[in-house]
């Protein structure tokens, strides 16, 4: 059985240069992640259990589709970039955690 993970994003800000006075915003939680892959400093690809989960995540993040079931994370400097409601949001913290069943 494949374990599904949630990919979470935290410490969001509206600008890469924003001075953080608090923890920032929480970002979207991407469901049904089954893996990630990176080669020699290239962008990270996020793999999903199925195409529907990948398309749902793409709607939440604006990340580019890599193949049938994966997206490429978007980066600006050392922050993960998400496009939400047409606006860029930048996150300093991200990770994977086993999905609750």
Query: Residue 80 corresponds to which tokens in the numbers above?
Result: 């993960």
7: β partners: 30, 96
**On the CB side of 56, how many CA atoms lie within 13 Å of its CA?**
14
At 22-68, the pLDDT tens digits run 888 899 999 999 999 999 988 899 999 999 999 999 999 999 999 99
19: β partners: none
What is the extent of the structural domain holding 68? 5-98
Distance CA 56, CA 79 (A): 22
| pLDDT for 100 | 72
Please tell me the pTM assigned to this model: 0.90
Q: How many domains does the structure of the chain reveal?
A: 1
């Amino acid at each position: 059985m494949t374990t599904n993970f949630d990919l979470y994003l935290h410490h969001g800000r509206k600008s890469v240069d924003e001075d953080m006075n608090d923890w920032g915003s929480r970002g979207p939680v991407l469901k049904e992640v089954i893996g990630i892959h990176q080669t020699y400093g290239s962008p990270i690809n996020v793999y999903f259990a199925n195409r529907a989960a990948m398309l749902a995540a793409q709607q939440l993040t604006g990340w580019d589709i890599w193949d049938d079931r994966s997206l490429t994370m978007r980066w600006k400097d050392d922050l993960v970039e998400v496009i939400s409601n047409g606006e860029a949001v930048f996150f300093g913290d991200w990770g994977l955690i086993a999905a609750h069943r």
